[in-house]
Amino acid sequence: MSQKIDFNKFAKRERVNFINSLSGFKSANLIGTINSSGLSNLAIVSSVFHIGADPALIGFIIRPDSVPRHTLINIRDTKKCTINHCGVGMTEAAHRTSARFDANTSEFTKTNLTEEYIDSYIVPFVKESPIKFSASLIEEVVIKHNGTHLLIMKIDKVYLCDRKLIQEDYAIDLEGAGIACISGLNSYHQTELINKYPYAKVDI
């Protein structure tokens, strides 16, 4: 028998923790950006989600009044970012990027994560990240009900630490790459495959 939970009675912080965990497990990505003075920024973001394969699009949510504001400012300026998957050995450093460092501090200097510049792209990648890609802003949607911003980005160039991570069906083996996932605001998890099912058909 299910138990109804009246989250409207929760205090503010408790409500934030409860609702943030309610959507399920989330992707763990470090978003790299650069400001107009050439200073890099790195922010852990758990809202990156798939929008479409062709054109190759992802989206993520940025709250302008919360920690990764520099990310939003920088992407508006340059239209560019890098998205770097967080490996299971990178979670402590990744989480540290969520501290409110000022605009003159690059999170790269406050963690053991290493700036990596690839193919003359102006925004740094995270060297330690096994799966990473560059992306360009194509649309900013304001969610009018709470003032958050949905950034829709086109996937440009993809880099893997090892081409063998591409499976027979061309899906990337995230688990084999040791990628973490997130629950709530601050729990990081590794994964264990339950099963990979074939394309579902009505008759089977």
Residues 145-184 that bind a copy of itself (CB under 8 A): 145-146, 148, 150, 152, 154-155, 157-163, 166-167, 169-172, 174-175, 179-181, 183-184
Shortest CB 199 distance to a copy of itself, Å: 7
- Residue 71 CA to residue 201 CA, distance in Å, equals 42
- Residue 34 CA to residue 37 CA, distance in Å, equals 8
- Residue 47 CA to residue 104 CA, distance in Å, equals 25
Nearest Cα residue to 45 out of 59, 58, 57, 28:
28
Under rule CB under 8 A, residue 137 binds a copy of itself: no
Shortest CB 34 distance to a copy of itself, Å: 19
Shortest CB 145 distance to a copy of itself, Å: 6
The answer to whether residues 131 and 160 touch, using CB atoms and an 8 Å cutoff, is yes
Helix (H) or strand (E) holding 143: strand 131-143
Among 9, 24, 37, 104, binds a copy of itself (CB under 8 A): 24
Q: Which of residues 57-96 bind a copy of itself (CB under 8 A)?
A: 57-59, 61, 63, 85, 88, 91-92, 95-96
Under rule CB under 8 A, residue 122 binds a copy of itself: no
Under rule CB under 8 A, residue 113 binds a copy of itself: no
Shortest CB 146 distance to a copy of itself, Å: 4
38 or 198: CB nearest a copy of itself: 198
What are the contacts of 137-146 at 24+ separation with CB within 8 A? 137/75, 137/76, 137/79, 137/80, 137/81, 138/57, 140/76, 143/61
- Residue 204 CA to residue 192 CA, distance in Å, equals 26
36 or 75: CB nearest a copy of itself: 75
